[in-house]
């Protein structure tokens, strides 16, 4: 396989500027270049880019992806560190869900208290202007 950055973008569903960014920050190795200075990629880069894209879709941060990729270089090593990274990410997601549920509850309460009258008497505007009127910390 010897494909251009455009073909790599199509096959991986990652935009060209993002591919360049991943090269710049070292998530992808610098591409081989043709005599005309065009980037060329192979199967390994496509596989790595698919891994990165999928990890990003699952919400992993760049630092975690960098560490996960480094760990793949030792296929016979224990996956304890991979498990630890993933458990930490899951805990962060659970915390985000809890915060989002609190926000949802507060917004639902604000909407239910709205009299649908005039802006000058709007309960939503009042609560947005004064956090102290919120029913819970969010």
Beta strands in 1-138, from DSSP E residues, in sequence order: 32-33, 39-40
Residues 68 and 88 in one domain: no
Residues 32 and 56 in one domain: yes
Q: Which DSSP symbol is given to 33? A: E
Residue 32 banded pLDDT, cuts 50, 70, 90: confident
Range of the domain at 46: 5-72
pLDDT digits (tens, 9 = 90+) for 84-114: 999 999 999 999 999 999 989 988 988 888 7
Residue 9 banded pLDDT, cuts 50, 70, 90: very high
Residues 118 and 94 in one domain: yes
- pTM (2 decimals)? 0.79
Query: How many distinct structural domains can be found in the chain?
Result: 2
Residues 127 and 102 in one domain: yes
For residues 107 and 136, the answer to whether their CB atoms sit within 8 Å is no
Residue 138 banded pLDDT, cuts 50, 70, 90: low
Q: Look at residue 119 and tell me if it is in a domain.
A: yes
């Amino acid at each position: 396989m010897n494909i251009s950055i455009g073909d790599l973008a199509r096959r991986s569903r990652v935009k060209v500027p993002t591919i360049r960014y991943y090269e710049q920050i070292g998530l992808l190795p610098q591409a081989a270049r043709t005599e005309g200075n065009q980037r060329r990629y192979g199967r390994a880069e496509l596989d790595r880019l698919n891994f990165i894209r999928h990890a990003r879709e699952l919400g992993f941060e760049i630092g975690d992806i960098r560490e996960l990729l480094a760990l793949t270089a030792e296929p016979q090593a224990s996956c304890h560190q991979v498990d630890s990274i993933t458990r930490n990410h899951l805990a962060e997601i659970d915390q985000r869900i809890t915060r989002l549920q609190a926000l949802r509850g507060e917004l639902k309460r604000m909407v239910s208290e709205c009299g649908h009258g005039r802006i000058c008497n709007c309960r939503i505007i009042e609560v947005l202007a004064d956090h102290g009127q919120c029913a819970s910390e969010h």
